[in-house]
Amino acid sequence: MRAAPTILHLDMDAFYASVEQASKPSLRGKAVIVGGLGPRGVVATASYEARRFGVHSAMPMAQARRLCPNGACLIPRFSLYREVSDVVMALLRELSPLVEPLSLDEAFVDLEAGGVAFDGPGARAAGERLRADIRAVTGLSGSVGLAGSKMLAKVASEEAKPAGLLLIEPGTERELLAPMSVRTLPGVGPATGEHLRRAGITTVGDLVEAGEDELVRMVGRAHGVGLHRMALGLDDRPVVAERDAKSVSVEDTFDVDLHDRVRIRTEVQRLADRCVQRLRASGHSGRTIVLKVRRYDFSTLTRSETLRGPTDDPAVVREAAARLLEGVDTTGGVRLLGVGVTGLADYTQEDLFAQSLGERPQGGPTEPDVTAEAGAAAVTAPEHVEPSGEPEPAPERRWAAGSDVRHAVYGPGWVQGSGVGRVTVRFEQPGSQPGRVRTFRVDDPELEPSDPLPLVGEGPAAAEG
């Protein structure tokens, strides 16, 4: 614990939904729900307008639609969210070299390390300046918590939501925490919270009164001691600028359970390739390959295989994942598959051989240059195709709600919805007035998918939440 509230926690408000509202002028002030749109889709985040209807993250999208039937349900656009996040993180690094990102929209900052604040008034001024800078540059709002520890700074930012700032003066922690729910504390999830409730412990003050010995008896020594310290507001964890990645993984949940063993193998191979793309993009290799299978009854199995050395070879990862799949019973159907790599290193076994030989080994498997989004299949056309009479019809293009498009005549826009061979597009962009809506055939040659238009640099468009 510090004697001054110089640890800052920033949490952007309803980040994904707010970015969508800022980049789509017709959605400002409206209920926006971002997440998977399939039958098994899950809400990633919801705007505050949608939250008034009871919609929240991790809720099934089908339930969110029932609660908020007039809300705009959109697919996530992670490339745009990362772009905006990079700008926000750059603003944080102007405050201090010690910035600990937790996700795209959340981070801790050590204000003392940056020399910008050593007491309460200085910390408050830095926090207010940060919020103003974020609004000016991105048009978005963020909530700021300031305290003498990371745990309390995070609690403060949650209490400050939305678009606020709360500073917890050292010495006032126990008074502030006492009436709060035990779920406020990190690590107290639904199961632990329910276990404590049954023992009559519902607030942080109740935890303090119960005492460390009783908590150890209830939830075990490690958890009980930590829980009691947090209830007292004690937390000595430093802000850590760099977090080493421990694993890289990808997974897909399928709209309909997979039963065909050949299809399941194909999906595992595709996931292995996507995982390697992420692995290489992070500059790592890995030694342990992990397969995750969630079956029709929600039971989840994980299998792993440790290689002799770290690798980033897609063929090696594919083969290991295929071997792991052979040992899994998929009878009854599979609803989720995942492939991951752990035991990360910044070199590969092949690199070690190359260092001794002065070059990379020849004749091994190679990977084609991938320029499409992760998950897209690379297709090589054959040199010659015999005509087969009537040409095969082109597959119908799919247009997901919220995706970016560009029309040869009307310019940039986004998909409001599609079905029955038609796609409805609203033509607008960041900084513009709400645009007009037009409907086209799904195969209209003048309508094409597009990359998101940049949000930053369009001026402080007011985004709700």
Task: State what percent of residues in the chain have pLDDT above 70.
Answer: 86
Q: What is the pLDDT of residue 324?
A: 95
In 173-211, which positions are buried (b, 16+ CB within 10 angstroms) versus exposed (e)? beebbbebebebbeebeeebbeebeeeebebbbbbbebe
Lowest mean pLDDT among 26-30, 177-181, 349-353, 364-368: 364-368
Q: How far apart are CA 304 and CA 425, in angstroms?
A: 45
100 falls within a domain: no
Mean pLDDT, range 314-322, rounded to an integer: 93
DSSP, collapsed to helix, strand or coil, labels residue 443 as coil
Q: What is the pLDDT of residue 288?
A: 93
Domain that holds residue 263: 247-357
pLDDT surpassing 60 at residue 431:
yes
Mean pLDDT, range 251-275, rounded to an integer: 93
What is the tally of structural domains in the chain? 2
Tell me if residue 100 is catalytic: no
pLDDT surpassing 80 at residue 364:
no
Do both 213 and 294 map to the same domain? no
194 falls within a domain: yes
Neighbours of 47 (CB within 10 A): 30
Boundary residue ending a domain (357, 383, 400): 357
The predicted model scores a pTM of: 0.73
Neighbours of 407 (CB within 10 A): 17
pLDDT, tens digit, for every residue of 149-195?
Answer: 999 999 999 999 999 999 999 999 999 999 999 999 887 888 888 98
Q: What is the pLDDT of residue 204?
A: 95
Residue of 451 and 363 predicted with greater confidence? 451
Residue of 57 and 378 predicted with greater confidence? 57
Mean pLDDT, range 243-269, rounded to an integer: 88
pLDDT surpassing 60 at residue 236:
yes
Q: How far is CA 165 from the centre of its chain?
A: 24
Mean pLDDT, range 274-292, rounded to an integer: 90
User: pLDDT tier at 238 (50, 70, 90 boundaries)?
Assistant: very high
Do both 210 and 278 map to the same domain? no
Do both 219 and 254 map to the same domain? no
Mean pLDDT, range 218-232, rounded to an integer: 88
Do both 332 and 269 map to the same domain? yes
Do both 189 and 221 map to the same domain? yes
Q: Which of 20, 49, 106, 350 is catalytic?
A: 106
DSSP, collapsed to helix, strand or coil, labels residue 195 as helix
Do both 214 and 261 map to the same domain? no
Strands 43-46 and 404-407 turn out to be unpaired
CATH number at residue 281: 3.30.1490.100
Mean pLDDT, range 263-271, rounded to an integer: 95
Q: What is the pLDDT of residue 348?
A: 54
Q: What is the pLDDT of residue 322?
A: 94
pLDDT surpassing 50 at residue 269:
yes
Q: What is the pLDDT of residue 245?
A: 66
Q: What is the pLDDT of residue 389?
A: 47
Q: Are 182 and 204 in contact (CB under 8 A)?
A: yes
User: Which of 284-288, 344-348, 410-414 tops mean pLDDT?
Assistant: 410-414
Do both 277 and 313 map to the same domain? yes
User: pLDDT tier at 396 (50, 70, 90 boundaries)?
Assistant: low
Do both 270 and 337 map to the same domain? yes
Q: What is the pLDDT of residue 386?
A: 38
Tokens found for residue 260: 């065909």
